[in-house]
Homo-oligomer: A and B are copies of this chain.
Amino acid sequence: MRIVVTNCNTTRSMTDEIVRGARAAAAPGTTITGLTPAWGPESAEGWLDSYLSAAAVLDTLRGHREPYDAVVLAGFGEHGREGARELVATPVIDITEAAAHLACLLGRRYGVITTLDRTRGQIEDSLHTAGVAQNCAAVVGTGLGVLDLGDERRTTEAFLTAAVRARDAGAEVLVLGCAGMTGLQRTVGERLGMPVVDGVGAAVKLAESLIALDLATSRSGGYARPLPKRRSWSAPA
C-alpha cells in the first residue's frame, strides 16, 4: 500500500518528523511518502493559516503525479479535508478525525491536548463536522506554539498540565492535537496511566484499513468529483 502524507505547513523538518511517525505505525508492506507544500504558512496556528494551508495542501495533491492508494492529511484541526475527498481518487484520512475515531473505542470520553488556545475552535469544528465530537470532553491548549515544541522538557510539562485538565473534564483517553509529537505519546500516557492516541499513526492505520477493505469515498453526494471549470491556483504574475 502506498500512502501519501501531507504536512499542512512549509517546514520540511516537520514533514520529516511526521513521516517518521507514519512509518512507525505503517504495516510492513506500506510505503509512506511525505509531501511538503511549496507555499502556505510555515506553521498553521489559527484560521488564516488554516485556510491558506488548505489551498496549498490541495495544490500539492493536485500536482502529485506518483500513484498512491490513500492520503493522510497531517494537520491537526486544519481545513481542507472535504476538498481533498473531492479531488483525489483514493480515500482521504485527516489526522484529527482519525485520532478521535480510535479514541472512541478506548474509553467513554476523550480529550484533545493541543498547542495554542486559539486553535481550539478549529479543532472543535473539525471534530463536529467529522461526526465524532459527541464524546469529546474537552479541547485543552498548552499555550505552546507549533515551532516551540523543540524544548522537550517544557513541552512535556505543558502537555501533562493540559492532560490533567482534560482528565478532570471527564476524558478517559487523550488525543495529541498536533502532528509531529510522537515522542510525547509515551511519556504522557505513562505518567497519567491513560491511553494516548497520536493522529498520524491512527490515520495511517485507518488508511490501510480502507484500502484493505476496498472502500472508497462516496461519489453519490457532497464528495462528487469536482466539476470541470477554470480554476487558477495563484495570482497572475
Contact = CB atoms under 8 A, between A and B. Distances in A.
Contact of A216 (B47, B79, B106, B202): B106
Interface of A: 10, 25, 27, 38-43, 45-52, 54-56, 58-59, 79-80, 82-83, 85-87, 91, 93, 97, 101-102, 104-109, 117-118, 120-122, 125, 128-135, 145, 167, 170, 172-173, 192-195, 197, 201-202, 205-206, 208-210, 212-213, 215-224, 226-227, 229-237
Nearest to A42: B230
Tell me how many chains of this kind the complex includes. 6
Contact of A109 (B50, B105, B221): B221
A221 B55 contact: no
A213 B205 contact: yes
A208 to B, nearest CB: 8
A50 B83 contact: yes
B172 A221 contact: yes
B10 A230 contact: yes
B213 A193 contact: no
Nearest to A116: B227
Contacts of A58: 48, 51-52
A69 to B, nearest CB: 14
A215 B197 contact: yes
Given A101-B101, A206-B209, A209-B206, A222 B54 contact: no
Nearest to A26: B212
A226 B43 CA distance: 12
